[in-house]
Amino acid sequence: MLHDDEATIQRVIGSIKPLDEQAMASARARQERLTKPSGSLGRLEELSIQLAAIRRQTVPDLAQKAIITMAGDHGVVAQGVSAYPQEVTAQMVQNFLLGGAAINVLARHVGARVVVVDMGIAATLDDHPALISRKVAPGTRDMTMGPAMSRREALRSIAAGIEVVEEEVDSGLDIVGTGDMGIGNTTPSSAICAVITKKPVEHVTGRGTGLDDAMLHWKVEIIEKAISVTRPDPDGPLDVLAKVGGFEIGALAGVMLGAAAHHVPVVIDGFVSGAAALVATGLCPVLKHYLIASHLSVEPGHQAMLEWIGLKPLLDLDMRLGEGTGAALGMFLAEAAAKLLVEMATFDEAHVTDRKLES
Amino acid sequence: MLHDDEATIQRVIGSIKPLDEQAMASARARQERLTKPSGSLGRLEELSIQLAAIRRQTVPDLAQKAIITMAGDHGVVAQGVSAYPQEVTAQMVQNFLLGGAAINVLARHVGARVVVVDMGIAATLDDHPALISRKVAPGTRDMTMGPAMSRREALRSIAAGIEVVEEEVDSGLDIVGTGDMGIGNTTPSSAICAVITKKPVEHVTGRGTGLDDAMLHWKVEIIEKAISVTRPDPDGPLDVLAKVGGFEIGALAGVMLGAAAHHVPVVIDGFVSGAAALVATGLCPVLKHYLIASHLSVEPGHQAMLEWIGLKPLLDLDMRLGEGTGAALGMFLAEAAAKLLVEMATFDEAHVTDRKLES
């Protein structure tokens, strides 16, 4: 018999369907009738068609928006891979709850709610009405000593992400953005990237919150050691997540899967969300069509992740903060694309000549 | 004695000052205290500092926003350089007034008002409370036969742009975006680009609303002919505007100058706004610091324009519609940048540790 979490994950993966061809065709036909030269809105046209196909609506309504920010700590920080101390994870989560972090500002700017989840912070946080606790453990184990988590913990983290997003779907959700907080979490993200895309660790490892050259070199060594100690199976996304991942990364993979199962488009943030997307699309390849890559992170492995999955980022603004900040900006563009499809007049409605001159 | 319009333009150019170093330094110092790793918001940090320096405020407020869309017709369309007939200029202006065009949708999405100005449409439009008429003439003359407009008309178009933006400043304006409508207006824009940046016409001429290969080839020939007939002075921006420009292009140059004189940042749209920016920064080089390049157009000359001025676009979404659509998206990013600077908590306020670990 399957473990409950495994059953949840399999149920969700089984219900993720290919995109709706009919809604896609209707949206594409409508784009051709809108008062503009065909194709002149560029990627916003493609995006609107993708959104229609995901939502199964010719004119998708994206009024209800949420950024889900998953937080967790990482045993590997004991090896000195981050420029900030571990206590900052919990402190920043408090900042999210008080509305003072970058993600709060950007989520307000785009009209999205922020959902903050403790997936495994290495501290006990006070109860707060806006904090969801799904703590798997107070931080992962140090992956240079052995797997960061057990297979069961990996399943739990994904299932928790599914549970969180399904609760949001119940309260009304048209589009979701992913975000992360976790001191040290570019280290597992680079490890996941190196294992799955089979690129050298040094090509996919960056400065995170601000490492100098010596610390960057050390971070690469630590990641190489973790991979050689735990030997994750490149073709087993769950194995990779368990051995060199993180609780917030598993939870974000769960959010992506759960959202897609409910026809909710997912705007993915930067490097850590990208690691989650590698795991999630590894578990369910068709998920890719439900994902929108918001921006290209400064982290050098991000490009490799997006290419592996087959996504093209909308923005390239040299950002590397996480939290869901890039996703919030991408969500704005998604809503812009949807509104153009919904609200623009057609040539007929506006009495504008669509006759092109003969050449 | 100076002609009135010339006096207006000189008054405005004389009042455009370098950016406020003190506001810039304060904004930069505040960015360093916000709860995020230094630099992690990438180009949004630089943008917030530029906005503070333009607005002379450490924490700039960009609540009052407008897109000014300048419309005009072009005698050169008689040569068959556009895929659409000239009547579409007036029809699209009606569409703007009814709120059904792409710029209306995006302006609503970002909370900006749309200001529509008839600078020289080749038709008589019915009065409409939202339509500003500054018609210089019902379309420019065919520039393959001689100058598109007289020097006096060129001055009038720039001064009209200044008048329009100064009226908006009087009703409250914190940031402005530029937009254009004019069938055939990528032709004068390419001509301006070729003359000022001294690039070959064929390198800076594109398909506009959708030319095929044969029409594109013809468009290049027509632009080369116009330049050889009118012989604009590459170092005389006013001469270039008069000989191969357009009324809406001159007006947009005026908007840029007038806004900068009142410390209002200008988000410039794509290719046609880029041509106006070439003229305006030619008249007043310091203006460049007040400009924000929203996006990179598909038109091949746009990159050359932005490089000439020294601007880097925020977005690259394969757009080529004009109207101010790119500017509206860029305005959203500018407001995001400003809000981050204003609303984010500092490390002290949020009790977050800013101590980086020693390497």
- Predicted confidence (pLDDT) per residue in B49-61, tens digit: 999 999 999 889 9
pLDDT at B58: 86
**In the prediction, which pLDDT does B8 show?**
98
Q: Are A34 and B323 in contact (CB under 8 A)?
A: no
Q: Is A209–B314 a contact, with Cβ atoms under 8 angstroms apart?
A: no
Domain coverage including residue B115: 65-336
Report how far apart the first and last C-alpha atoms of chain A are (Å, whole number). Answer: 69
Q: For residue A134, give the CATH number of its domain.
A: 3.40.50.10210
Q: Is residue B298 part of a domain?
A: yes
**CATH no. for residue B16?**
1.10.1610.10
Residue matched to tokens 């068609």: A49
Q: Do A345 and B95 touch (CB under 8 A)?
A: yes
Same domain, B294 and B260: yes
Q: Is A18 exposed, middle or buried (0-12, 13-18, 19+ CB in 10 A)?
A: exposed
Query: Does a structural domain hold residue B50?
Result: yes
Do B160 and B192 have their domain in common?
A: yes
Q: Is residue A93 domain-resident? A: yes
What's the average model confidence in pLDDT over A234-250? 98
Average pLDDT of span B29-42: 97
B222/B201 Cα distance (integer angstroms):
10
From chain A, the residues in CB contact with B355 under 8 A are 84-85
Task: Examine residue A13 and state whether it is found in any structural domain, yes or no.
Answer: yes
The per-residue pLDDT for A3 is 82
Query: Mind spelling out the 3-state secondary structure of chain A?
Result: CCCHHHHHHHHHHHCCCCCCHHHHHHHHHHHHHECCCCCCCCHHHHHHHHHHHHHCCCCCCCCCEEEEEEEECCHHHHHCCCCCCCHHHHHHHHHHHHCCCHHHHHHHHHCCEEEEEEEECCCCCCCCCCEEECCCCCCCCCCCCCCCCCHHHHHHHHHHHHHHHHHHHHHCCCEEEEEEECCCCHHHHHHHHHHHHCCCHHHCCCCCCCCCHHHHHHHHHHHHHHHHHHCCCCCCHHHHHHHHCCHHHHHHHHHHHHHHHCCCCEEECCHHHHHHHHHHHHHCHHHHHHEEECECCCCCHHHHHHHHHCCCCCECCCCCCCCCHHHHHHHHHHHHHHHHHHHCCEHHHHCCCCCCCCC
pLDDT in tens, B103-140: 999 999 999 999 999 999 999 999 999 999 999 999 99
**How far from B100 is each of A235, A351, B70, B93, B104, CA to CA, in Å?**
50, 11, 17, 10, 6
Backbone angles phi, psi at A113, to 5 degrees: -85, 155
Is residue B250 domain-resident? yes
Q: For residues A212 and A332, state if they share a domain.
A: yes
Closest CA to A190 of A269, A299, A84, A295: A299
Shared-domain flag, residues B130 and B27: no
The pair of three-digit structure tokens given for residue B206, joined into one six-digit string: 């594109």
* pLDDT at A358 exceeding the cut of 90: no
Is residue A323 annotated as part of the catalytic site, yes or no? yes
Q: Are residues B226 and B313 in the same domain?
A: yes
Q: Which of A153, A323, A343, A349 is catalytic?
A: A323
Paired sense of beta strands A266-268 and B113-120, if any: unpaired
Q: How many residues does chain A have?
A: 359
Q: Is B344 helix (H, G, I), strand (E, B) or coil?
A: coil
Q: Is the domain of A116 the same as that of A52? A: no
Q: How far is CA B311 from the centre of its chain?
A: 12
- Do residues B268 and B234 share a domain? yes
A181 in contact with B, Cβ within 8 Å = no
Same-domain status, B29 and B141? no
Section B238-260 average pLDDT = 98
**Spatial CB neighbours of A355, under 8 Å, sequence gap ≥ 6:** B84, B85
For residue B243, give the amino acid letter: K
CA–CA distance from A225 to each of A25, A146, A187, A192, A344 (Å)? 50, 10, 12, 13, 55
User: With an 8 Å Cβ cutoff, are B350 and A100 in contact?
Assistant: yes
Smallest CA–CA separation between A79 and chain B, in Å?
Answer: 11
Checking if the pLDDT of B1 tops 80, the result is no
Cα A237 to chain centroid distance, Å, stands at: 16
Q: Do B319 and A40 touch (CB under 8 A)?
A: yes
B358 pLDDT higher than 90 = no
The alpha carbon dihedral of B34, B37, B40, B43 has a sign of: positive
pLDDT tens-place string over residues A108-120: 999 999 999 999 9
Give the tens place of pLDDT for each residue, B131-190.
999 999 999 999 999 999 999 999 999 999 999 999 999 999 999 999 999 999 999 999
Cβ within 8 Å, pair A317-B42: yes
At A123 the pLDDT is 97
Chain-chain contact of A98 with B339 (C-beta, under 8 angstroms): no
Beta-carbon contacts of A236 under 8 Å, excluding residues fewer than 6 positions away, are none
Strand residues in B34-151 grouped as ranges (E): 65-72, 113-120, 131-133
Per the structure, the count of domains in chain B is: 2
pLDDT tens profile A171-223: 999 999 999 999 999 999 999 999 999 999 999 999 999 999 999 999 999 99
Q: What is the pLDDT of residue A359?
A: 42
Beta strands A175-181 and A266-268 are parallel
Query: Does A299 share its domain with A239?
Result: yes
Return the number of CB contacts < 8 Å for A and B: 198
Among residues A41, A334, A344, A296, the alpha carbon closest in space to that of B297 is found at A41
ipTM given for this complex: 0.97
Q: Looking at the domain assignment, is residue A289 inside a domain?
A: yes
> B28 with B134, same domain?
no
The answer to whether residue B358 is domain-embedded is no
Instruction: Give the phi and the psi of residue A320 in degrees, each rounded to 5.
Output: -160, 40
Q: B63 and chain A: CB distance < 8 Å anywhere?
A: no
Report the pLDDT value the prediction gives residue B2, as an integer from 0 to 100: 64
pLDDT class for A58, splitting at 50, 70, 90?
A: confident
Distance in Å, alpha carbon of B324 to nearest chain A alpha carbon: 12
pLDDT score, position B359:
42
- Write the pLDDT tens digit of every residue in A136-168: 999 999 999 999 999 999 999 999 999 999 999
Comparing alpha-carbon positions, the chain B residue that sits nearest to A101 is B344
Residue A180 backbone phi and psi in degrees, to 5: -140, 155
User: What pLDDT, on a 0 to 100 scale, did the predictor assign at position B355?
Assistant: 67
User: Looking at the structure, do residues A149 and A231 belong to the same domain, yes or no?
Assistant: yes
Task: For residues B73 and A54, give the distance between their C-alpha atoms in angstroms, rounded to a whole number.
Answer: 41
Contacts of B126 in chain A (CB under 8 A): none
| pLDDT in the model for residue A1 | 52
% of chain A surpassing 90 pLDDT: 97
Give residues 83 to 122 of B whose Cβ lies within 8 Å of A.
83-85, 87-88, 91-92, 94-95, 98, 100-102, 104-106, 108-109
For range A342-358, the mean pLDDT: 86
Q: Is A53 part of the contact surface with chain B (CB cutoff 8 Å)?
A: no
Residue A93 in this model has a pLDDT that exceeds 50: yes
> By C-alpha distance, which of B282, B288, B190 is closest to B236?
B282
- Residue B206 maps to a domain: yes
In angstroms, the separation between the Cα of residue B238 and the nearest Cα of chain A is 30
Q: How many residues does chain B have?
A: 359
Tell me the residues of chain A between 265 and 284 that have a Cβ less than 8 Å away from chain B: none
Residue B3 is predicted with a pLDDT of 82
Q: Is B214 on the interface with A (CB under 8 A)?
A: yes
What's residue A212's pLDDT? 95
Look at A298 and B340 and tell me if their CB atoms are within 8 Å.
Answer: no
* Residue B344 near residue B44, CB atoms below 8 Å: no
Residues B302 and B346 in one domain: no
| Mean pLDDT, residues B192-201 taken together | 98
What is the structure's pLDDT at A281? 98
